[in-house]
Structure 1
Amino acid sequence: MDALHLTTSSMPTLLLLYWLLCTGAALAALVPSFGWSGFRKAVMLSACRGKLWDKKPDAPLGPLQAARVPQKRFAHFYIVGVACAIPALWLLIIAGCGPAEGWQEEHHAALIAMLCVLFHLSRRLVESCLLLSYPDGAYMHLIAYAFGLSYYVALPLTLLPSSTWHTLDALAYQGQKGAAEWDPCPAHLAQALKHLPGSMSALQVLGVVVFFAGNALQCHSHCILARLRARIAGKREDRLQTTEDGYALPEGGAFSLVSCPHYLGEIVLYAGLALILCGSNISIMVVFAWVVANLLLAAGPTHEWYSERFPSYPRQRRALIPWVY
């Protein structure tokens, strides 16, 4: 019981530490430095996947240097994410329906964010299983795969307010009798959802709009990539520039502005989450910083890869941020 109490009481701190370490590693890799060259190569190695696999650096990882998994296993991330988000939502409902807590402002903000994340993870799972496909030679490093699994375990838990962990601790202490008192009855949840729109601040409304705008941008970009993959697979290569390893030049939509609009959409939707939880969850700000740093790491080499492989690559197209980078 003491071990459980220690774990639940320290969970917000442990999650914040996890995100700080991840963000620190990504930021350090963004800054070329002689003293950090080995570390930077190791971080960059985890960012090399798919078309970038052949450009992976020689990191000092010994036998792990060539450890890889097929990129099609990206779907595993979203399976894990959904599987963790559902019980996290249940914990949030229990905390919100508890006799002592009630649906406070932090619970409302967390509920909005959790529902948004559950939508996003479900959408990405459907896309990964039914829409997107990868060439047989598309891989990601084992480190990236292991980190991705941990990421989607940590993300839903990070959205929970600290009071949720106190509730879990109280439930464990009180046992079955306590669990009955904290029963998340449908009426309480329905009441919370009913009053949710009216309880949202202007910043949270803006956050929801930004979140779904990012989802729309990412989904549209993935649809363009999926249609491009279908053209390649169907050998309909009229006016289609392709590489020997089965990649082509994406065009249309936000691809006319940047090489990685799906990454840009990811940044936008996490900015929406940060707005929703602004002032009530410090960790989500660190998560947002990590998303930006990580996608900057991936977008730069991707843009360079396109420029090298396609001589006619549009010069006005940027890597990640229109007209800027």
Structure 2
Amino acid sequence: MEVGLAGLLRTAWIASILPILLASVPCLSSRLSSFYNGLMVFAGRGKIMQCSSQKFSVPQKFFSHFYAGPVAWTTLLLVTTWMYAYNMAQLTGHSTQSSHIISVWRSVFLLLLMEVQVLRRLFETLYVFNYCSTARLHIVRYLIGYFFCYTLAPILCYNHAQEVYKFSVTGIAKFLFQGNTSVQAYDLSEFVIPFLKLGWLQWTGAAIFSWGWIHQRNCHKILGSLRKNKEQKNVYVIPYGDWFELIVSSPHYLSEIVMYVGFVVASGGSDLTVWLLLGFVVSNLTFAAAETHRWYLQKFKNYRNNRCSILPLCADNLNK
């Protein structure tokens, strides 16, 4: 069953990556122009959204849905997996040397990283970005972003879904039907100490993740400050500061990629599904960054012609 679920998820990621890759290959762009234009319709959002897509769109402030649901979902997974890991440690005499127990604690660690990300993004959507009333995104992009990027992401964080599910169901059943009124004392240190026994890959991945996380926060703060009034329609300013000084148009996308690289490293790099998740993030954000960069060049005559779309110090044909 687990193999079937993994295969289904991997097929879904591959099916999402391939259209973006085909539309991004320069030598195929002329032959697949209609396919590219169709993809652009579905990928439309905000300033790069085509007028023909407006009737199949939702307000861009719906981005809060991307994170409100996943915050609750990720929190549920984090708490149940954390409790399961703690319970396993108690049953094995506080031993954390077992490879299986270490794997469970690694899953908790990955879910904790995901929790930090979705919490910040929910806060930014509500309090940092000032979406004007006319800003919209295509319904297809909305659904893909909601289900693929954040609802499924926590599921890919760990390989102990069945164990955690059985543990949770058993615990709920005991509480409901056995009337267990005893209060169990918890040693809070036992919830934290096992993290210190994780390997260098986990902490290296966390450092990479944190590096990208901090800079994405800074870049989003810069972008949010450009429009202080939500009703300033079609008022755009060239952003400067932080990673925008790396001479890229979309450093907030670059920092997102950095975070997912850290996520893959922290996972140990042995799960193909997590690599495919990274592949989707890279292809999707690179495509979006290229369109954003093209829009900047058309919108601002004084736009830096040495800026690239997403990778610093990388020649970009869009500048020519």
Report the TM-score range of the alignment, normalised by the length of the smaller protein.
Answer: 0.7 to 0.9
Residue of structure 2 equivalent to 1:226: 224
Residue of structure 1 equivalent to 2:192: 193
Judged with a 3 Å threshold, the aligned counterparts in structure 2 of structure 1 residues 81 and 42 are, in CA distance, closer, same or farther, namely farther
1:143 equivalent in alignment to 2:140 = yes
AA aligned to 1:226 is: G
User: Identity rate of aligned residues, in percent?
Assistant: 28
TM-score (norm 2): 0.81
Q: Deviations over 1:46-76 (max 9, x none)?
A: 322111013x7x7xxxxx8840011111111
The Cα shift of 1:9 comes to 7.0
The Cα shift of 1:250 comes to 1.2
Cα distance between partner residues in 1 of 2:186 and 2:271: 27
Q: Tell which deviates more after alignment, 310-319 or 103-112.
A: 103-112
Cα distance between partner residues in 1 of 2:193 and 2:15: 39
Judged with a 3 Å threshold, the aligned counterparts in structure 2 of structure 1 residues 166 and 23 are, in CA distance, closer, same or farther, namely farther
Question: What does 1:24-103 align with in structure 2 at a 5 Å threshold?
Answer: 24-31=18-25, 32=28, 37-54=33-50, 66-99=55-88
Residue of structure 2 equivalent to 1:210: 208
Judged with a 3 Å threshold, the aligned counterparts in structure 2 of structure 1 residues 318 and 96 are, in CA distance, closer, same or farther, namely same
Residue of structure 2 equivalent to 1:246: 235
Contact 1:258 1:322 in 2 (8 A): yes
Cα distance between partner residues in 1 of 2:305 and 2:295: 13
Contact 2:208 2:262 in 1 (8 A): yes
Cα distance between partner residues in 1 of 2:17 and 2:188: 35
Aligned to 2:132, the other structure's residue is in SS state coil
Q: Deviations over 1:115-153 (max 9, x none)?
A: 011001000100110011122221110001111221221
Q: Deviations over 1:261-308 (max 9, x none)?
A: 111110111111011002453311111111000011100011011011
Candidates 288, 292, 304, aligned match of 2:278: 288
1:133 equivalent in alignment to 2:130 = yes
Cα distance between partner residues in 2 of 1:249 and 1:174: 54
Q: Tell which deviates more after alignment, 120-129 or 37-46.
A: 37-46
The Cα shift of 1:169 comes to 4.9
Cα distance between partner residues in 2 of 1:187 and 1:10: 37
Compute the RMSD of aligned alpha carbons: 3.1
Cα distance between partner residues in 2 of 1:203 and 1:89: 20
The Cα shift of 1:210 comes to 0.8
Contact 1:208 1:276 in 2 (8 A): yes
The Cα shift of 1:159 comes to 0.7
The Cα shift of 1:168 comes to 2.1
TM-score (norm 1): 0.80
The number of residue pairs the alignment matches comes to 298
Residue of structure 2 equivalent to 1:305: 295
Cα distance between partner residues in 2 of 1:85 and 1:262: 22
Candidates 92, 102, 109, aligned match of 2:106: 109
Aligned to 1:72, the other structure's residue is in SS state helix
AA aligned to 1:316 is: N
Q: Which runs of 4+ in 1 moved over 6 A?
A: 232-235
Aligned to 1:187, the other structure's residue is in SS state coil
Contact 1:23 1:287 in 2 (8 A): no
Contact 2:251 2:310 in 1 (8 A): yes
AA aligned to 1:195 is: P
Cα distance between partner residues in 2 of 1:34 and 1:159: 39
Question: What does 1:153-164 align with in structure 2 at a 5 Å threshold?
Answer: 153-161=151-159, 163-164=160-161
Judged with a 3 Å threshold, the aligned counterparts in structure 2 of structure 1 residues 281 and 37 are, in CA distance, closer, same or farther, namely same
Contact 1:158 1:283 in 2 (8 A): yes
Residue of structure 2 equivalent to 1:238: none
The Cα shift of 1:217 comes to 1.0
The Cα shift of 1:245 comes to 1.8
AA aligned to 1:292 is: V
Candidates 15, 30, 43, aligned match of 1:21: 15
